[in-house]
């Protein structure tokens, strides 16, 4: 002590050392408590019940009593906070669950033979997942965090465990190739963890929405794109916190991730060219000068991690012909020169879970008709109370020329169709008036050329003249006119018949006769007359001398 008093510098060092030693247990205790999981006592709780529920079998409830300095284990006041060291907690396997599968997805790992993924499968630690082109899989983890593994990707499940009934989950994944989208449930305690390791960097979060891509050989760098919350991104060369609306690029594991950069803005959807209902879906958006392309997705509105449709395109428009029924959401995001995907433009819409489209029977596929009001016909769908017919100039039906509801299974065009090319389709309507899905767009051509009935050579004999022509559709009738002048203002014959032929008394005077035929449908609709054809009556016929074929001349 006298030596310490005689040396002020040594005295100061000794005092500092004593202070440091005195505060060390306090610091260690604070560090230890930071790794404790806390529990608030409820009425009826006992230490042995809590120990059985949360502690490893090798840890006794008496140790929990000592750790929390509980004087009376038989009386735990409700509301008291108990501390459970993380190392003492029960750890259990927490397999991932397959929520949705689209396309061909293969599950392997360990000694198990690779098998096709299916909804509801339980995937343990070590599972290896591969998606093919135009395929995806959605996984749910023990805390209901979700991962969407996109097309042409590989993922390994490195760690899947939970800390008993505490709600804390340890999820560690390895993205070896491709892309994933993640929606992570906020952490429930200090041991909760969600980490994705890509070849160039690791992303770890405690609750957020973000996307991760693996670097491509000779292509785009790896990226972590943060939509909501914050994500820590790093490797052994450095780490950083990435804020929402930013992306961190990591081209190589030999270098620290690059400073965060902003995501591209959401493309502005052109509402004038947007049609969400009915299918096909049509969408267009304003092109962004910084974008090399666009990512288009359709997801379930109530489960945006379930992917129903995906496409990458350099264009600023898209057409989607088929989607499953339900309340859906269209997502459009721009992709920059490094392959980083930006903010989403979103539009919700509904695809009806209604009746299937009816089979069509008339007109025939790509048929040419010379009727301004053609008749369309289709089959009856079970449970249908009616049908809806649409006619348009374009196969996407963006602006239908006609849309008519009928209780029957046939309907004439409610508008006159000028000569040209058209498309038509039909949907069934249920008893509540809800329309089902439209069938495919069927082409139709309207011509202004008169029909050719295919008149056969006239037959004459025994004072009679017989004309025959090509039969029409079942149920059709025919109107035949014969005239000497060719203008049919005062026809010699004007008659309807159910058969594709007619027999009449021979004209007394020879010369040239003009003949034309009109087809009349079973609903009374009369098409245009055919081009008039000529019959030349030989003079000998005028006097009844013999019988034979008459000369048929086309105009």
Percent of residues, the chain, with pLDDT higher than 70: 90
Tell me whether residue 249 is in a domain. no
| Tally of domains within the chain | 4
**Of 73, 89, 105, which closes a domain?**
89
Q: What residues are paired with 519 via a beta bridge?
A: 478
Confidence of residue 197 (pLDDT cuts 50, 70, 90): very high
Count of alpha carbons within 13 Å of 457, Cβ hemisphere only?
A: 7
Q: Is residue 165 part of a domain?
A: no
Same domain, 434 and 382: yes
Judge whether residue 33 has pLDDT over 90: no
- The DSSP symbol for 396 reads T
How far does the chain reach from its first CA to its final CA, in angstroms?
138
pLDDT of residue 385: 94
Residue 526 gets which letter from DSSP? B
pLDDT confidence bin for 450, thresholds 50/70/90: confident
pTM: 0.74
CB burial of residue 341 (10 Å; 0-12, 13-18, 19+): buried
Q: How confident is the model at residue 23 (pLDDT cuts 50, 70, 90)?
A: very low
Long-range CB contacts (< 8 A, 24+ apart) of 468-473? Answer: 468/500, 468/501, 469/500, 469/501, 469/517, 470/500, 471/500, 472/500, 472/519, 473/362, 473/521
Paired tokens of 553: 């001349």
Q: What is the pLDDT of residues 459-512, one digit of tens each?
A: 766 678 888 888 888 889 999 999 988 999 999 899 999 999 998 887 767 788
Query: Do residue 366 and residue 347 come from a single domain?
Result: no
Residue ranges of alpha helices (H) inside 438-523 are none
Q: Is the pLDDT of residue 9 over 70?
A: no
Which pLDDT score is estimated for 31? 36
Backbone angles phi and psi of 8, in degrees to 5: -60, -35
At 554, is the pLDDT very low, low, confident or very high (cuts 50, 70, 90)? very low
| DSSP per-residue letters across 80-130 | -EEEEEGGGB--EE--EEEEEEES-EEEEETTEEEEE--TT-EE-TT-EEE
Q: Is the pLDDT assigned to residue 6 strictly greater than 70?
A: no
- The residue range of the domain holding 383 is 360-446
- Identify whether residues 344 and 364 lie together within a single domain: no
Determine, yes or no, domain membership for 9. no
Residue of 449 and 247 predicted with greater confidence: 247
Q: Where are the beta strands (DSSP E) in 352-471?
A: 360-362, 367-369, 375-378, 386-392, 402-406, 410-412, 420-429, 435-438, 442-446, 459-461, 464-468
* 75 belongs to a structural domain: yes
Question: pLDDT tens for residues 397-434?
Answer: 888 999 999 999 999 999 999 999 999 999 999 998 88
Is the pLDDT confidence value at 133 over 60?
yes
- Between CA 107 and CA 121 the distance in angstroms is 10
Beta bridge partners of 160: 171
Confidence of residue 12 (pLDDT cuts 50, 70, 90): very low
Residue 314 lies in a domain: yes
Question: What's the pLDDT at 470?
Answer: 87
Under the banding of pLDDT at 50, 70 and 90, the label for residue 174 is very high
Pick the range with the lowest mean pLDDT from 31-40, 345-354, 379-388, 478-487. 31-40
Predicted local confidence at residue 293, as pLDDT: 98
Question: Would you say residue 296 lies in a domain?
Answer: yes
- 513 touches 491 (CB < 8 A): no
DSSP for residue 337: T
Q: For 86-95, 303-312, 526-535, which range has the lowest pLDDT when averaged over its residues?
A: 526-535
pLDDT at 144 over 60: yes
Cβ atoms of 492 and 514 within 8 Å: the answer is no
Contact partners, residue 292, CB within 8 Å, separation at least 6: 314, 335, 336, 337
**Whether the predicted pLDDT of 548 surpasses 60:** no
Distances (CA, A) of 225 to 123, 267, 341: 26, 17, 7
Asked whether residue 257 is domain-assigned, the answer is no
Residues 326 and 300 in one domain: yes
* pLDDT above 60 (res 543): no
Question: Are 282 and 307 found together in one domain?
Answer: yes
Residue 234 lies in a domain: no
With 50 as the cut, is the pLDDT of residue 13 above it? Answer: no
Query: Considering only CA atoms, which of 456, 474, 471, 428 is closest in space to residue 515?
Result: 456
- Range in 18-22, 255-259, 269-273, 276-280 the model is least confident about: 18-22
Point out the domain boundary residue: 89, 120, 155.
89
pLDDT score, position 539:
57
Mean pLDDT, the chain, integer: 88
Domain termination residue (choose one: 399, 414, 446): 446
Confidence of residue 29 (pLDDT cuts 50, 70, 90): very low
Decide: 511 and 484 in contact? Cβ < 8 Å. Answer: yes
User: What is the CATH classification number for the domain harbouring 466?
Assistant: 2.60.40.10
Per-residue confidence (pLDDT) for residue 505, from 0 to 100: 82
On the question of pLDDT at 455 being above 90, the answer is: no
Residue 245 to residue 263: CA distance in whole angstroms:
6
The reply to whether 328 and 383 lie within a common domain is no
Nearest to 270 by CA among 180, 340, 363, 332: 332
What band does 538 get if pLDDT is binned at 50, 70 and 90?
low
**Any idea what DSSP says for residue 17?**
H
Residues 550 and 463 in one domain: yes
Residues 389 and 421 in one domain: yes
CB 427 within 8 A of CB 508: no
Highest mean pLDDT pick, 17-21, 308-312, 467-471: 308-312
């Amino acid at each position: 002590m006298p030596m310490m008093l005689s040396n002020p510098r040594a005295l100061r060092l000794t005092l500092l050392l004593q202070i440091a030693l005195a505060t060390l247990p306090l610091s260690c205790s604070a560090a230890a408590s930071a790794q404790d999981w806390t529990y608030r006592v409820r009425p009826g709780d006992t230490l042995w019940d809590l120990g059985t529920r949360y502690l490893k079998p090798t840890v006794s409830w008496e140790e929990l009593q000592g750790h929390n300095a509980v004087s009376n284990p038989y009386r735990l006041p409700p509301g008291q906070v108990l501390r459970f060291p993380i190392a003492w907690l029960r750890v259990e396997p927490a397999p991932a669950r397959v929520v949705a599968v689209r396309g061909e997805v293969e599950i392997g790992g360990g000694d198990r033979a690779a098998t096709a993924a299916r909804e509801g499968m339980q995937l343990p630690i070590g599972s290896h997942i591969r998606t093919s082109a135009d395929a995806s899989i959605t996984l749910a983890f023990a805390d209901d965090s979700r991962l969407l593994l996109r097309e042409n990707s590989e993922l390994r499940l490195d760690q899947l465990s939970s800390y008993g009934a505490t709600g804390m989950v340890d999820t560690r994944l390895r993205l070896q190739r491709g892309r994933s989208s993640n929606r992570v449930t906020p952490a429930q305690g200090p041991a909760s963890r969600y980490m994705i390791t890509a070849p160039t960097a690791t992303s770890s979060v405690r609750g957020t929405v973000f996307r991760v891509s693996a670097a491509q050989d000779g292509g785009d760098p790896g990226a972590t794109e943060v939509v909501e919350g914050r994500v820590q991104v790093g490797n052994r060369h450095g780490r950083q916190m990435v804020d929402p609306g930013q992306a961190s690029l990591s081209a190589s594991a030999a270098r620290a991730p690059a400073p965060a950069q902003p995501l591209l803005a959401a493309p502005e959807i052109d509402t004038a060219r947007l049609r969400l209902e009915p299918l096909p879906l049509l969408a267009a958006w304003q092109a962004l000068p910084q974008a090399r392309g666009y990512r288009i997705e359709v997801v379930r509105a109530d489960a945006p991690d379930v992917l129903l449709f995906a496409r990458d395109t350099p264009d600023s428009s898209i057409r989607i012909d088929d989607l499953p029924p339900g309340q859906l959401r269209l997502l459009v995001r721009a992709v920059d020169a490094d392959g980083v995907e930006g903010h989403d433009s979103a539009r919700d819409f509904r695809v009806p879970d209604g009746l299937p489209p009816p089979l069509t029977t008339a007109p025939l596929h790509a048929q040419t008709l010379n009727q301004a009001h053609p008749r369309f016909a289709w089959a009856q769908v079970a449970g249908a109370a009616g049908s809806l017919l649409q006619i348009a100039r374009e196969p996407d039906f963006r602006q239908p020329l006609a849309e008519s509801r009928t209780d029957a299974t046939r309907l004439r065009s409610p508008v006159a169709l000028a000569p040209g090319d058209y498309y038509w389709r039909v949907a069934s309507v249920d008893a509540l008036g809800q329309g089902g899905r439209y069938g495919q767009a069927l082409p139709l051509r309207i011509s202004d050329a008169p029909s050719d009935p295919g008149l056969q050579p006239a037959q004459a004999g025994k004072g009679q003249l017989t004309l025959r022509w090509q039969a029409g559709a079942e149920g059709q009738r025919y109107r035949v006119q014969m005239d000497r002048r060719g203008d049919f203002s005062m026809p010699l014959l004007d008659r309807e018949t159910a058969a594709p032929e007619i027999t009449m008394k021979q004209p007394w005077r020879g010369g040239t006769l003009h003949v034309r035929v009109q087809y009349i449908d079973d609903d009374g609709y009369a098409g245009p007359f055919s081009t008039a054809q000529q019959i030349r009556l030989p003079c000998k016929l005028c006097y009844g001398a013999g019988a034979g074929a008459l000369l048929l001349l086309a105009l």
